[in-house]
Amino acid sequence: MDRIRIVGGNQLNGTIPISGAKNAALPLMIASLLTDDTLTLENVPHLADVEQLQRILGNHGVDISVVGRRERQDAGYARTLHFTARTIVDTTAPYELVSRMRASFWVIGPLLARMGEAKVSLPGGCAIGTRPVDLFIDGLRALGAEIEIDGGYANARAPKGLKGAHFVFPKVSVGATHVLLMAATLAKGETIIENAACEPEVSDLAACLTAMGARITGAGTPTIRIEGVSSLSGARHRVLPDRIETGTYAMAVAMTGGDVVLENTSLHLLENALTAVSNAGAHVAEVENGIRIRMNGDERIRPVDVVTDPFPGFPTDLQAQFMALMTRADGVSHITETIFENRFMHVQELARLGANISLSGQMAKITGVEKLKGAQVMATDLRASVSLVIAGLAASGETVVNRVYHLDRGFERLEEKLTRCGAIVERVSE
């Protein structure tokens, strides 16, 4: 099993190209099930989750061709993938595939909309709370689907097709918004989704669906309207930049000191999180084709309190990384997690590096320390794993992060990108 070895103490200087967003690429790939034409996606990151979803889509009969990185292109280059679901050969998404990644459950929406049936295993994924699928099921039932849970599977039928409806989410859910949005594109009549997720990834999916012929208004706001159409065509769409990767590297620069331009990304994708980084003492500025992060390594990081919240609030997917940053703040900071329960598993691993963190329910109190010291640590989930990398970059001595397969699910060529900016980071294979 691979590990990441880090020798801390170096500032980061240079450029880091930001990849396409995993959280946008996955629903976009699933949208290919809605049409028998070819959907072409540019800027798709090369990640374990993307590879796993390709296997799942292939099981349904989707033909996938890949245009990869070319000679002399830098580390920021991503792939172009062509998806053709000419014929859906199987409407079952089996446990052995779905259990490895939660987002694969989302195929239930397009399969129901196009084929009138789907049998999808209940999902797996990161161990950050139960994250039930009741919102998905309630939304699809509102569109007329008949769904039973039996033997660990959601058995869904809509033999006469889905019908437009007015559905109000009781709480914001990005995944459920994706699924209902996709399903409603082929439903008969108008669908109104209220309390919808406003994340940029939802707007990105809506833009792609619109290019495929869907009629959607209001994406990016709490109320989305979809006028169903009889069929969708193919399209070409570029995946938006990864705002979580953007925020992660911004926090790494704030943690270590240095001057880095994050290329191919945009400030508006995560203003709240970058405001927190700025409040911690870093200089954040929009530049041509990216964002510049500068931090004087001789200055102590300032403590900042944050509360995770749906977009445009502070992203839960940056909570662990920001906690790593706050471990070296000059004072006490607080982080309150409101999205997922059980998302503080990285705390005990940060403590192995010398962090001073106490928990009270969904709030973490972080008392900054002057120094972190390298140690062996264990990644527990995707975002927690990269928080340990950030801490290791600033720790004295050597840090070894185990179970880095979590990192491979969401960060493309992390070691390469950090090394080009002066970090000492390497992957060690046993």
- 371 labelled ligand-binding: no
- 278 labelled ligand-binding: no
- 171 labelled ligand-binding: yes
Catalytic annotation present for 198: no
Give the rounded distance of the alpha carbon of 142 from its chain centre.
Answer: 27
Exactly one of 126, 198, 208, 421 is catalytic; name it.
126
Q: Positive or negative, the Cα torsion across 371, 373, 374, 377?
A: negative
- 317 labelled ligand-binding: yes
- 277 labelled ligand-binding: no
Residue 294: CB atoms within 10 Å: 16
- 163 labelled ligand-binding: no
The structure tokens listed for 158 are 């809509």
- SS3 label, residue 230: coil
Query: CA–CA distance from 389 to each of 4, 49, 107, 352, 412 (Å)?
Result: 8, 20, 33, 13, 14
- Torsion-angle region of 309 (φ positive above 0: left; ψ -120 to 50: alpha; else: beta): beta
Cα–Cα nearest to 137, from 126, 125, 123: 123
The structure tokens listed for 164 are 């437009």
Cα 219 to Cα 319: distance, rounded to the nearest angstrom:
25
Q: Which residue has the tokens 């059980």?
A: 342
- 332 labelled ligand-binding: no
- 172 labelled ligand-binding: yes
Produce one character per residue of 170-199: b if its CB has 16 or more CB atoms within 10 Å, e if not. eebbbbbbbbbbbbbbbbeeebbbebbbbb
- 3 labelled ligand-binding: no
- 112 labelled ligand-binding: no
Q: Which long-range contacts (CB under 8 A, 24 or more apart) does 284-287 make?
A: 284/250, 287/261
- 174 labelled ligand-binding: yes
- 131 labelled ligand-binding: yes
Please enumerate, by residue number, every residue annotated as part of a binding site for phosphoenolpyruvate. 22-23
Catalytic machinery residues: 126
Please enumerate, by residue number, every residue annotated as part of a binding site. 22-23, 102, 131-135, 171-174, 317, 339
Please enumerate, by residue number, every residue annotated as part of a binding site for UDP-N-acetyl-alpha-D-glucosamine. 102, 131-135, 171-174, 317, 339
